[in-house]
Structure 1
Amino acid sequence: MNCVAVDLNQIRPGQIGPAIGYGTFACVSRIAGTSLAVKVPFDEASHHIRIEQRIYERLGEHHLILKYHRQAIFLSGGQTTPVLLLQFLEAGTLEKSLNTPSEAVAYIHSKTVIHGDVGCHDFLVQDNGTLALCDFGGSSIDSSEILEFPKPRYARPRPRLGEKPDVKDDIFALGTALYEISTGQTLYKGKSDKEIAALFRSYTYPDLQQLSPLGLSEIIRRCWSERYADAEQVVCDLSKVLPDFACSALRPELRHWCLSTKLLWTTSLLSIFALYIFLSA
């Protein structure tokens, strides 16, 4: 759908439909007659909109990040509120797709952004079936304070009281997202927040042996046990177990290494299979 001739500099209540999503600091609605959504902060939350605007501008246009158009003004009750104009995606949020969000996380980390609340609820499914990471209102940019924190099943246990969140928190949450995407189930469903935190602190994880594809369980376990230094390593490992994984978020030299490793691994398997056939003949 193309945008019609409406004033997108000053948005009024009559231009927007019912809310299609709620967060901690804002709600999102579609702008009537356009392919845009507007994110309107709740009272006293304009600061989060400014942070999110900075982050979207830093990230620029990327195929795994929700498209940001620009800032606008929302006029209601004689008051003006800064809002964000974003791409509207009909498909909504990620549910059971196995398309991995790891490339998006690796990309934002390369721009000195820490999301802080990575989860299936923050990935939208684009019209072509790929994902777009969104909702940066509580995120960190250039080591700024993180203002929003994940639900317990996405939360990395803190080894030290008062430890500042970092990329490891996003990677830990990525492990939970990959688990929930691949199983179609909520991690530790039915457990209380306190029980979930205790399970993570004791390194007690659900049975991962039946996950598909082969190798995904070890990647998730490594995310949860903080054995990845950065999200690019997650992308690289996923490239070895997902046949069509493109590694598009990686630095060129790391992408080349990953693809070479995948080729070597595939060649080795074919050689072993050929030897087996030869010996069985």
Structure 2
Amino acid sequence: MAPSFIVSGVTASVIHISDSKALKCAFREHVSEVEFEQTVLEHLGLHRGIVRHFSNLHEGQITLEYYPYDVRRYVATSKPIPLELWALQLVETIIFIHAKGVIHRDLSPRNMLTSGGNGGIVLCDFAASSVNGKRQADIKPECRFYHWHTDRTEIQDDLFAMGSVLFELSTRQPPYAELQLEEIRRLYRAGIFPLVDSLFMGKVITKCWMGNYESAEQFRSDLVCICVLFHIAY
């Protein structure tokens, strides 16, 4: 097949190069960030919740397993979203990377990949991540997935973003989709977040946003309880 463009981000473009592989190519000024991402992926090793990577043949390039959708594009379709499955898969992956000393720092549906349906999701794009407190680049996450406070831990950075991810999966829209970025920053700094009372996972979303979790394990415990109670009730 002929190579085809998939997406362009802050640090690189991604090209579909075969039925099963994609190539991430760093922009000239961001080679070090993509090289760092390769190091992070090697540090994490194989895991079902992390995009598979292959040998790095050229500086500033990473060969990755190909997926037809990032989760944001999938959510924007009318296809069904396996909310419980994806939420539980995601938190298990976050627990794994945190145990390895990695904080993703840029969690959002655009940095998650899926084949669709019940095929599950995997994390990608670790260029902004930190490993044991060290990082290569100070890349800011999407505004709606960033807490805008200085008194949170790095782990809570990921957990805050998890709340916004679950909101987008639940509503098919990111938090405050109708507002401008400066207004979102103002509201977040004031601890004012979108209403979630009607959402199945509203309680865990709020606790993520309010910084009530100190670890992904705590989040998983609440998430499992909510899923169990939901199925008992219905």
Deviations 1:95-146 (A, max 9, x none): 4332212222222111111111111111101365200000011211121135
CA contact (8 A) 1:199 1:205 kept: yes
Flag the 1:93–1:50 CA change in 2: closer, same or farther, 3 A.
same
Matched with 1:147 is 138
Match of 1:27 in 2: 13
Which residue identity does 2:91 align to in structure 1?
S
Could you tell me which residue of structure 1 aligns to residue 78 of structure 2? none
1:156 to 126, 132, 147: 147
User: What number of residue pairs does the alignment pair up?
Assistant: 220
Matched, 1:221 2:206: yes
User: Of 158, 165, 176, which aligns to 1:177?
Assistant: 165
1:120 and 2:109 matched: yes
Shift of 1:40: 0.3
Counterpart-to-counterpart distance in 1, 2:2 and 2:146:
34
Query: Are residues 1:190 and 2:178 paired?
Result: yes
Partner of 2:50: 65
Q: 1:85 aligns with which of 48, 54, 63?
A: 63
Percent identity reads: 29
Q: Is the 8 A contact 1:51 1:138 kept in 2?
A: no
Larger CA deviation: 220-229 vs 17-26: 17-26
> 2: distance between equivalents of 1:114 and 1:159?
16
- 1:229-271 CA-partner distances (Å, limit 9, x unpaired): 011211221111224xxxxxxxxxxxxxxxxxx8xx99xx79x
CA drift at 1:93:
2.9
- Report the TM-score, using the length of structure 1 for normalisation: 0.72
The 2-side partners of 1:58 and 1:157 are apart by 29
- State the alpha-carbon separation in 2 of the partners of residues 93 and 219 from structure 1: 20
The corresponding residue for 2:221 is 236
Aligned-residue offset at 1:147: 2.5
Alignment partners' CA distance in 2, 1:219 and 1:176? 11
Distance 1:92 1:224, change over 3 A: closer
**1:127-138 to 2 correspondence within 5 Å?**
129-138=119-128
Structure 2 runs not aligned, ≥5 long: 76-80
Cα contact 2:70–2:111 (8 A) shared by 1: no
Q: Contact between 2:101 and 2:131, CA under 8 Å: does it hold in 1? A: yes
Ranges in structure 1 where 5+ consecutive residues have no aligned partner? 1-14, 74-80, 244-261, 271-281
Cα distance in 1, alignment partners of residues 162 and 174 from structure 2: 14
**Matching of residue 103 in structure 1 with residue 92 in structure 2:** yes
Higher relative contact order (CA 8 A, sep 6+): 2
The match for 1:40 is 25
Contact map agreement 1:72 1:82 (CA 8 A) in 2: no
1:16 offset after TM fit, Å? Answer: 6.0
